[in-house]
Amino acid sequence: MNGGEYGGELMANSVLSMKYQPKGQIDPMIVLNQAFLNTEARGSSTTCILTLTGNMLHAANIGDSGFVLDNPSLAQLKVSVIPGYTVVRGTDGLFDNLNGYKIEALVNRGIDEAHMPKEVACSIAELALGTSLDRYALSPFAKAAWEAGLDFIGGKIDIITVVVAYIVSMDLA
């Protein structure tokens, strides 16, 4: 199996999905969801789908893909959060090496021990780095490779960036 087969099929299905969207009203999340549901190849891919409607840029972004604007104020992503939420942002070097439950456990331990977000981010990054260097780790990347029919085990050496933020009430800030 070709390592790029999944990403290629996902993008081809994205193009097909766009053809069935109302002209001038293409929603990148609908396109990405439909493409995902119609992709039969196994694997994983970073993805960034952008649409421009009038003067509004809309994006669906997964993984370490991304985009740059001359004027960042034109890009908006709105997600509702409430005090008590913790946000973890990382590159694929994090998510290729640590499962969500391991990240969540480190976040919960950090909160229980009253660690600052920077300390929690460092703990998560250190575990991801250790896993990336472990030739026998059952990392998410190794699992995805195995499911795609590739003979791979261990961590994936890559750039690892982690940012942690606690959402707090304005009264506590």
Q: How far is residue 3's CA from residue 156's CA, in Å, rounded to a whole number?
A: 15
What does the pLDDT look like over 58-104, one tens digit per residue? 778 776 655 544 755 544 454 456 778 887 877 788 889 999 899 99
| Contact between 28 and 50 (Cβ < 8 Å) | yes
Per-residue pLDDT in tens (0 to 9) along the chain, 173 residues: 565 788 889 989 999 999 988 887 888 899 999 999 999 988 887 777 777 676 566 778 776 655 544 755 544 454 456 778 887 877 788 889 999 899 999 999 999 999 999 999 999 999 999 999 999 999 999 999 999 999 999 999 988 888 888 888 767 55
pTM above 0.75, yes or no: no
pLDDT for the residue 78: 46
Residue 89 to residues 19, 39, 120, 124, Cα–Cα distance (Å): 33, 27, 12, 11
Phi/psi of residue 161, nearest 5 degrees: -125, 135
Q: Is 44 exposed, middle or buried (0-12, 13-18, 19+ CB in 10 A)?
A: buried
Tokens found for residue 57: 């840029």
pLDDT for the residue 52: 67
